Structure 1
Amino acid sequence: MNARAGFFAKRPDALGTQNLRALAGPILICMILGMMILPLPAFLLDLLFTFNIALSVMVLLVSMYTQKPLDFAAFPSVLLFSTLLRLSLNVASTRIVLLEGHTGPDAAGQVIESFGHFLVGGNFAVGIVVFVILMIINFMVITKGAGRIAEVGARFTLDAMPGKQMAIDADLNAGLINEETAKKRRQAVAQEAEFYGSMDGASKFVRGDAIAGLLIMVINVVGGLIVGMLQHDMDFGHAATNYTLLTIGDGLVAQIPSLIISTAAGVIVSRVATEEDIGTQLTGQLFQNPRVLMITGVIIGIMGLIPGMPHFAFMLLGGGLIYAARTMNKRAEAKKKAGSITDVTPLASAAAATAENAEASWEDVALIDPLGLEVGYRLIPLVDKNADGELLKRIKGIRKKFAQEIGFLPPVIHIRDNLELRPNGYRIALKGVEVGVGEAFPGQWLAINPGQVSAALPGTQTQDPAFGLPAVWIDTNLREQAQVYGYTVVDASTVVATHLNHLVVTHAAELLGRQEVQALLERIGKDTPSLTEDLVPKVLSLTTLQKVLQNLLDESVPIRDMRTILDALQEHAPRMADPYDLTGAVRLALGRAITQQWYPGSDDLQVMGLDPTLERVLSQALSTGTNPGLEPGLAQTLMTSTQNAMMRQQNLGLPPVLLVQHSLRAMLARFLRRSLPQLKVLSYAEVPDTRNVKVVNLIGG
């Protein structure tokens, strides 16, 4: 009851905060429209002009500090709102300039007066020149360049989308990511392409703003002369001085933020929109980084100290930003300090215990880890838990994918650094024995050649450590180009994770120990307790069951269907004692699943077969003695013929599957496995009656 009360007590605050953030966009639009329609006092204009400058500085700093494409996805919308804000301020200031300009240079507020007098020395001719130069820089250089980058970037992004989708599919098939992660990455690829189109259109806002600023300046000068001379009986010189300086100050106070925003557009040309509403994006992404708030507050505060500036407006806003940044930093330090105390306490206790127990004990005996990953010092950030290392997430995904597809949970992978390795090297060990080594380069990408690329790439030539395909390490700026050429491009953590996943699957039989078999029986026993209790250990020992399961894994047969496996063992174990004979009986029970594994669907099974003469010779060799073997010449002939048949089979794009008589299957599988691990040997008895068999390549014919 208390938990429910606590939940409902917290929920209104969360909803209120979310609703306020969501209302930021509509409130901003209403404020902009209000400034265009309603007259504003000079003091309020000072605050709004100050806010416009602070907003432009903050946008520029956020664009510089973001690292990922989607970190500032709201930028096209920020560009639109900032442009509308400047134009609405121009309308509001034009109204007050024309209505109150005859009263003096401070008629439209102190900000416009300061920009008109302090920045250009009160000389309206200098002000006009500075204003025109700023517009030329903004219109001809920055805005035009950013628009061109967005236009070209959109083309390359669209061309690279198929390659990116293939890379996502490759990660999904390798078990490095799940369906949900693949869906998010596909959405990110689509959003990245969408962003360039958004930026190409958004840059037109800044270009139109520059043109509008020029026209507004001309209209204000002409309109001010007419209003001053005809309505307020001012002479031409007095009217020209008043209204021109006010217009120049108004134009500069709008064009400087416009120039800053245009610069930010060039910096953040690779961002894209997300599914969040604009209000949530603006408040969540603009005011999230305390460093940005601190720097912006300091800049605004220093501007408020300049003589002639409106001190109250600048100091008020700058002080507020600094206070907010310090508050956020204090909260972050408090959380960090609390976490440090939690982490250090056990370490201190352990150190004290070690000092007190100087004598050797059984705790000093180091047991060998079933699975181990050692990395060089440059790869440590990939596996650093405190830094949320990407490789750690992928390793968790590997274990989960393995458990779902193979049928048991592999041991935990122990990760440690090894200074004896190369800085970018890594080593994968199985029960303390090295089974794989490689190198990975964080910050670079491995472009793997699947065999159909259109051009070569500059970089460090190497091989994919998992499958031995030719590859090259490339810089980040060549990633999209590599995908256009047809390469499969993966990052450093994906390279290590793919290699690790391949080795774990390859050595699945060695990872299945007695502890895993016992845990597997306990898992099956929860659903069908009688099946496990009647079989192990009454009919079959745990050791024999382990050997049967290892034999299946050695031949790439998953053990997910434990009910069928245990049913088959329950049937044949009373009459058989040899694990290999029991493995053959279990394979017959799993025949449909084994066939479906290599030949999905209901199409014909296009397999390799034995020449009748060779098959007869092998049958005779198998029937001689208790330990049948192959004569060396016959063994060499069989191996050579099988390799040639496999090459023809793979050239046809067919799986390397050899179909033989059931009595020969076990012997041939063990004989060929060492030299041809990719070859799978099936027996005719394992093929369901509903599937048609077509022998397309003969061995020994």
Structure 2
Amino acid sequence: FVRGDAIAGLIITAINIVGGIAIGYLRHGMGLGQAADVFIKLSVGDGLVTQIPALIVSLAAGMLVSKGGTRGSANQAVFGQLGAHPRALYVAASLLVILGLMPGLPLFPFFALAGAMAGLGYVIPLRHNRALAAAEAQKNQEKANKVEEEKNSVKASLATAEIELLIGKQLSTRLLVAHQELVFRMSKMRKKFAQQYGFVVPEVRVTDDFAIPPKSYQIKVHGTVVAEYQMRVGEIMVLLGTRGVPDIPGEEIREPAFGMRAYSVLETFAEDLKRENYTFADNMSVLLTHLSEVIRNNLPQLLSYKDMKALLERLDPEYRKLADEICTSHISYPGLQAVLKLLLAERVSIRNLHLIIEAIAEIAPHVRRTEQIVEHVRIRMAQQICGDLSEGGMLKVLRLGNRWDLAFHQSLKRDAKGEVREFDIDPRQLEEFGQDATKAIRKHLEAGERFVLVTAPDARPYVRMIIERLFTTLPVLSHVEIAKGVEIKVLGTIS
């Protein structure tokens, strides 16, 4: 259409010229030369007037065609194509120079336009090449970033989360409704751990895992499953303690964190349980309580070397200097980390790290075994330990009977200096002690009492080693770890 319109305009101009000469010569009595001069000028003027709109339409159509196959704005497309083919601008500049040299045509305007065209022919390709170079550099950078991201993704797949919570499909859907509450309570739990034990436990990575049973969850520490549980979605867990089962349809189960007696009922019976003063927990509370207890049981594994160094950096300069001195002369930094881990293994807080450093500085020059250092540190921290374990200023204790005190004392093999080198107890005695201890301890645990087991200082680590296999969370103290001024209530004796 554009091309046809231009051709039609040329034909009309030719008709005007021929027709005008004929009319001037035949009707107006003009000479042939005069008629040609007059009507050619008139035809050219008319042609210019009629062709200017056609020129604009043609230019607009050309720009649209140029824009059609490219991205970006129209001016970017036009200048990009001109930059890719600068020869067209140089040809146009040459034609303008030739027109300017023709007789009767103004020289300056044509030369000015020719200079502008030549300048554009030089400048536009430069800008175009710079843009191409920048685009190529960006493309290469994106490619390099993609390669780096792939490398990082591979590294990330190899790295394991320190604490990870895997949730089954149905349980995940249930907890998703209260996702913000879950995140808030986890954050609050980590803050409580930091205040209670003296270091910040790692963040918990929560992952939906459709490979595990839909109503279950798993807790991983350093990539290893350490706990799992099949949740009763849509039900609440009634904690029975010493009470009987409520008169409500349900099923008797075990609570996952402590193995306590529990009873599972539908959520619709919550109001009935409140009226009967039963303690119960929803799915999220059960999960978070279990997670909290798993973290407590794995505190030593969660205290990394980096965490220990960060704790030392927060000490006052004097204590940092003392730590550096003992770690370079008597005990290494990994040795210090081992001491802290053994304390955390028995849930002894390391929040008073400066006291621990002082105690290590006192004993480290005289002993080499980490266990001996830990026992001295515990004695120095007796006030803190008793304060954390007592209730209302009273410490409830369960004692070892004389028979078992003597049995453990005789099982300790000592060297010439009197230091314990070996613990050798008869397996039959060990089995009998396990039965007696289980009977006495379970009686008080089922009564809901919080207490500690007290034994002789030399035997304490070995009694703890045995009790830990039977009752993981039961604290074992020696007589010298009971601080002055602490009120004691003896619950009974293992005998």
Cα distance change of structure 1 residues 364 and 482 upon mapping to structure 2, 3 Å threshold = closer
Structure 1 residues 459 and 361: alpha-carbon distance in aligned structure 2, compared to 1, 3 A threshold: closer
Corresponding position of 1:378: 170
Counterpart check, 1:608 vs 2:403: no
Distance apart, 1:693 and its partner CA:
5.0
Instruction: Name the structure where strand makes up a greater proportion of residues.
Output: 2
**Counterpart position of 2:441:** 646
Q: CA deviation at 1:649?
A: 4.2
Query: Which AA in structure 1 matches 2:160?
Result: I
If asked which structure has higher relative contact order (CA below 8 Å, sep 6+), I would say 1
Quote the offset at 1:540 in angstroms.
Answer: 2.4
1:264-302 Cα offsets, whole Å, 9 max, x none, are xxxxxxxxxxxxxxxxxxxxxxxxxxxxxxxxxxxxxxx
Amino acid at match of 1:369: A
For 2:259 and 2:294, how far apart are their aligned partners in 1? Answer: 13
**Is residue 685 from structure 1 mapped to residue 476 from structure 2 by the alignment?**
no
Q: 1:411 aligns to what?
A: 202
CA contact (8 A) 1:656 1:678 kept: no
1:612 Cα deviation from its structure 2 partner = 2.8
1:367-390 Cα offsets, whole Å, 9 max, x none, are: 1221111111233356659x8432
**Alpha-carbon distance in structure 1 between the residues aligned to 2:318 and 2:259:** 43
Residue 321 (structure 2) aligned to one of 524, 530, 553: 530
Structure 2 residue runs without a partner (length 5+): 1-140, 416-420
How far 1:412 sits from its partner (Å)? Answer: 1.5
**CA distance, structure 1, for counterparts of residue 185 and residue 356 of structure 2:** 31
Show the counterpart of 2:9: none
**What whole-Å deviation, never above 9, does each CA across 1:577-633 have from its counterpart, x for those lacking one?**
211000000000011222222234444x55332333432332222035632321112
Match of 1:319 in 2: none
> What is the distance in 2 between the residues matched to 1:650 and 1:442?
28
SS of residue in 2 equivalent to 1:379: helix
Q: Write the deviation string for residues 199-231 of structure 1: whole angstroms up to 9, x where unpaired.
A: xxxxxxxxxxxxxxxxxxxxxxxxxxxxxxxxx
Which protein has the larger Cα radius of gyration, Structure 1 or Structure 2?
2
Counterpart of 1:368 (choices 157, 160, 163) is: 160
- Matched residue type, 2:404: L
Query: Residue 646 of structure 1 contacts residue 656 of structure 1 at CA under 8 Å; is this kept in 2?
Result: no
Offset of 1:470 from its aligned partner? 3.8
CA–CA distance in 2 between the matches of 1:693 and 1:472? Answer: 34
Distance 2:245 2:333 in 1: 55
User: C-alpha separation between the residues in 2 aligned to 1:539 and 1:406?
Assistant: 26
Residue aligning to 2:86: none
Q: CA deviation at 1:546?
A: 1.2
Unaligned stretches of 5+ residues in structure 1: 1-348
Aligned-partner SS, 1:670 = helix
Separation (CA, whole Å) in 2 of partners of 1:418 and 1:350: 32
C-alpha spacing 1:686/1:478, structure 2 compared with 1 (3 Å): same
The CA deviation at 1:460 is 5.7
CA contact (8 A) 1:438 1:465 kept: yes
Q: CA distance change for structure 1 residues 684 and 356 in 2, over 3 Å: closer, same or farther?
A: closer
Question: How much does 1:360 deviate?
Answer: 10
TM-score for the superposition, normalised by structure 1: 0.46
**Residues 348 and 385 of structure 2 are in contact (CA less than 8 Å); yes or no, is this contact kept in structure 1?**
yes
Determine if contact 1:390/1:493 at 8 Å carries over to the other structure. no
Q: Which residue pairs with 1:665 in the alignment?
A: 460
Task: Provide the rounded CA distance (Å) in 2 between the counterparts of 1:360 and 1:560.
Answer: 36
Distance 1:582 1:460 in 2: 49
Structure 2 CA distance, aligned partners of 1:475 and 1:561? 45
CA distance in 1, matches of 2:265, 2:401: 49
1:436 to 219, 227, 240: 227
Give the superposition deviation at 1:400. Answer: 0.9
Contact 2:423–2:462 at 8 Å: present in 1 too? no
Partner of 1:499: 290
TM-score by length of structure 2 reads: 0.63
- Residue aligned with 1:427, SS: strand
Task: Report the counterpart of residue 400 of structure 1 in structure 2.
Answer: 191
Match of 2:212 in 1: 421
- The question of 1:581 aligning with 2:372 is answered yes
SS of equivalent residue, structure 2 residue 281: strand
Contact 1:525 1:531 in 2 (8 A): no
What residue is the counterpart of 1:482 in the other structure? 273
Provide closer, same or farther for how the CA distance between residues 601 and 451 of structure 1 changes in structure 2, counting only shifts above 3 A: closer
| Residues 509 and 443 of structure 1, relative CA distance in 2, 3 Å threshold | same
- Compare 580-589 and 416-425 and name the one that shifted more: 416-425
Q: 1:409: Cα distance to partner?
A: 0.7
Aligned: 1:699 with 2:494? yes
1:636 to 431, 437, 445: 431
* Alpha-carbon distance change, 611 to 535 in structure 1, aligned in 2, over 3 angstroms: same
Q: In 2, distance between residues paired with 1:533 and 1:678?
A: 33
Tell me which amino acid in the other structure corresponds to 2:452: V
Query: What secondary structure sits across from 1:405 in the alignment?
Result: helix
Conserved? CA contact 2:398–2:494, under 8 Å: yes
Cα shift readout 1:311-366 (whole Å, capped 9, x = no counterpart): xxxxxxxxxxxxxxxxxxxxxxxxxxxxxxxxxxxxxx999955898789963651
> What SS does the corresponding residue of 2:331 show, helix, strand or coil?
coil
1:512 maps to which of 303, 312, 315: 303
1:573 partner amino acid = A
Judge conservation of contact 2:197–2:350 (CA < 8 Å) in 1.
yes
Letter in 2 for 1:399: R
Alignment of 1:246-395 (within 5 A): 363=155, 366-381=158-173, 388-395=179-186
Give the aligned partner of residue 341 of structure 2.
550
SS in 1 for 2:350: coil
Cα distance change on mapping 1:351 and 1:480 into 2, 3 Å: farther
Equivalent residue for 2:30?
none
* CA distance in 1 between partners of 2:440 and 2:172 (Å): 45
Paired residues of 2:175 and 2:284 also in contact (CA < 8 A): no
RMSD over aligned CA atoms reads 3.2
Task: Report the structure, 1 or 2, having the larger helix content.
Answer: 1
Amino acid in structure 1 at the alignment position of 2:364: A
Q: Distance in 2 between matches of 1:365 and 1:650?
A: 43
Q: Deviations over 1:163-212 (max 9, x none)?
A: xxxxxxxxxxxxxxxxxxxxxxxxxxxxxxxxxxxxxxxxxxxxxxxxxx
Q: Secondary structure at the match of 2:315?
A: helix
